[in-house]
Amino acid sequence: MSLELPVVQAALSGYSDWPMRAMARKLGAPYTVAEVMIDSFVNSLKQRRRTSHFLMVTDDDHPAGAQLMGADPNEFPAAARKLAEAGFDVIDINFGCP
C-alpha cells in the first residue's frame, strides 16, 4: 500500500470508530485505523444498529485498517476474517499485553 502522506490516523481505543475515521478522512488522512478490538468481542458482534459502527467501512474509507488483539488461537482467525469481510483492507495485529 502506498500513501501520499508519511503519517496516518492511529488506532485510538474508544475513539477511532466510524464517525471519527470519517472526520479524519475528511480532514486529509490518507489511511485510517479502527480502534483496537479484542477477538472475542469482534466474534460476538451481530448486525445491530447499536454496534454496527465497529465494523462499518464505506466506499470512501479505503484504505482502512482494523486493529485486532487477542490471545485465543481459536478466536483470532475468525475475528480477522470477520474484519476482512466487513471491508477492512488491513488487519493490524496489536502485540500488546492481552
Tens of pLDDT, residue by residue over 2-21, are 777 777 788 888 888 888 88
Q: Does residue 14 contact residue 37 with C-beta atoms inside 8 Å?
A: no
pLDDT number for residue 18: 84
Q: Is residue 52's pLDDT more than 80? A: no
Selecting among 1, 5, 27, 97, the annotated active-site residue is 97
Q: What is the DSSP string of 43-57?
A: HH--S-TTTGGGG--
- Residue 97 designated active-site: yes
Neighbours of 25 (CB within 10 A): 18
Give whole-number Cα distances, 46 to 19, 37, 55, 59, in Å: 19, 15, 10, 21
The pTM is what?
0.84
Q: Is residue 75's pLDDT more than 70? A: yes
